[in-house]
Amino acid sequence: MSTFWITFLAILGAVGAIVGIGWFIWWLVERRPNRKYKKETQKILSEMRDEIKELKEQNTQMQFYLNGIPEVRDRHKAVIYRDAFRAMREYRHKEAIAKFQEALPLASNPSERCAILNLIGASQIKSGANRDAEKTFLEMIRIAEQAKFDEGLLAGYGNVGIVYHNLGKIKKSLEYWHKALGIAAEKKDLVVQANVTGNIGYGYQSLGEYKKALDYHMKALKLAEQLDNLNIQANQLSNIGLVYYALLELQKSLEYHKKALEITERIGNLEAKASIFGNIGIVYYTLRENDEALGYFKKALEIAKAIGKSESQAREFCNIGLVYDTRGELQKAHEYYEKGLEIARRIGNLEVQGNALCNIGTIYGQLGDYNKTLEYYLQGREIFVKIGAKGKIEDCNHNIAIARQKLAGR
């Protein structure tokens, strides 16, 4: 071989070595950021799953349908879901809704779209936007029915039932809850069965069918105890307390509410705690222990404001109004009733609207303004007719008759 070729090959070998070293250095440089990127992605995915787990533990009445969201691998989607679940868990409802809506166009199939709609609807319920939630869940149900997704239907039926109950459409809520219970029984899903059974009990309770309500709540409590599910146990204990309150067994009612409160304090469920504080306040109010009642109502209102639960705020404003009403502080009572009524109208809660209107009517009656009394009781009665609350309609009829008698006697 000539000197030229020997020199050429030597140079070529040197160039090859340099190129090989160059590629190796590039691989090392590139691999470090890739490893870091993968590590960060894994962290985001882990955080997203943790948020989902905590949120499910926090919400016992809602039916969660996630359709593989916890198994998502796409980093961009995972960030959106993580932030949305975190906002939902921290009661930042508007932010949660916005984030889930951002994820909606990224849905890879109808099933995932159903899952996102379910989460949007759940956040809308939490914010008190019941009419928006109704539209969201009905859209979800439409998609699930077309695609024959039983899990999607189960969640949609259960959650739209909650919406109709919040809107005071009790019979409609029971219709959807019974549909959900049928699917849950077929699937042998005991957690969902416990939740929906308790919801059905609450529906019958709202209709004044207390024996039926107690039967369903006791069944739900038994299932929750079998599952060792503390959230559902607390919810059902409080519901049983509500039934005993309606039956005027006040000490028994207090006993069940305090058992529920003990559990919620242990597990840190603020939403349930606010609700139970309000329920205990009502029992003390009925026992004419007004200072105790006012203390519990104010605690409930403070938590409701902190977590942004509009429905609870509306109820507690009205409850505080009741105490001031009883004390004869009518101006103060009227102010609190109006605050409760304003929120109830904004979020579409018919039951609270009806109660607030009748309470304001009572104040006008105490002031001798029977025209106003009649006006407010007629408005309240109209709402109670819409929601089918028989006992409340009878109360309104009685008070309307008294107001008319007073006006006729002038």
Cα–Cα distance list, 289 to 91, 155, 279, 281, 294 (Å) = 32, 41, 14, 9, 9
Mean pLDDT of 142-161: 94
Does residue 280 contact residue 296 with C-beta atoms inside 8 Å? yes
pLDDT digit string (tens) for 240-251? Answer: 999 999 999 999
Give residue 94's pLDDT: 86
Q: CA 279 from chain center: how many Å? A: 17
Q: In whole angstroms, what is the distance from residue 160 CA to residue 181 CA?
A: 13
Q: What distance in Å separates the CA atoms of residue 147 and residue 151, rounded to the nearest whole number?
A: 11
For the cut 60, the answer to whether the pLDDT of residue 25 exceeds it is: no
How many angstroms separate the CA atoms of 271 and 40, rounded? 33
- Band (pLDDT 50/70/90 cuts) for residue 274 is very high
pLDDT of residue 168: 82
Of residues 322 and 1, more confidence is placed in 322
Segment 266-285 mean pLDDT = 95
pLDDT band per the 50, 70, 90 thresholds, residue 18: low
Query: CATH assignment of 61-188, given 3.40.50.9100, 3.40.50.300, 1.25.40.10, 1.10.490.10?
Result: 1.25.40.10
pLDDT in tens, 346-362: 888 888 999 999 999 99
- pLDDT at position 12, please? 47
What is the per-residue pLDDT for 369? 96
Is the model's pLDDT at 33 over the cut of 70?
no
Q: Is the pLDDT of residue 156 over 60?
A: yes
Mean pLDDT of the chain: 87
> To which H or E segment does residue 410 belong?
none
**More confident call, 124 vs 158:** 158
Least confidently predicted of 125-134, 284-293, 306-315, 377-386: 125-134
The answer to whether 343 touches 314, Cβ cutoff 8 Å, is yes
Higher-scoring residue by pLDDT: 37, 239 = 239
Residue 153 CA to residue 189 CA, distance in Å, equals 14
Report yes or no: 155 and 338 within 8 Å, Cβ to Cβ: no
Q: For 312-319, what is the mean pLDDT?
A: 96
Output 125 or 323, whichever has higher pLDDT.
323
What is the pLDDT at residue 318?
Answer: 98
Is residue 177 predicted with pLDDT exceeding 70? yes
| One-letter amino acid for residue 104 of the chain | L
CA distance 230 to 248: 27
Q: Give me the helices (H) in 59-128, please.
A: 75-89, 93-103, 110-127
Q: Which of 220, 252, 254, 257 is nearest to 237 (CA)?
A: 257
Is residue 273's pLDDT more than 90? yes
Average pLDDT over residues 127-152: 91
Q: pLDDT digit string (tens) for 53-65?
A: 766 665 555 566 6
Instruction: Measure the CA–CA gap between 320 and 324, rounded to whole angstroms.
Output: 7
pLDDT digits (tens, 9 = 90+) for 180-232: 999 999 999 999 999 999 999 999 998 989 999 999 999 999 999 999 999 99
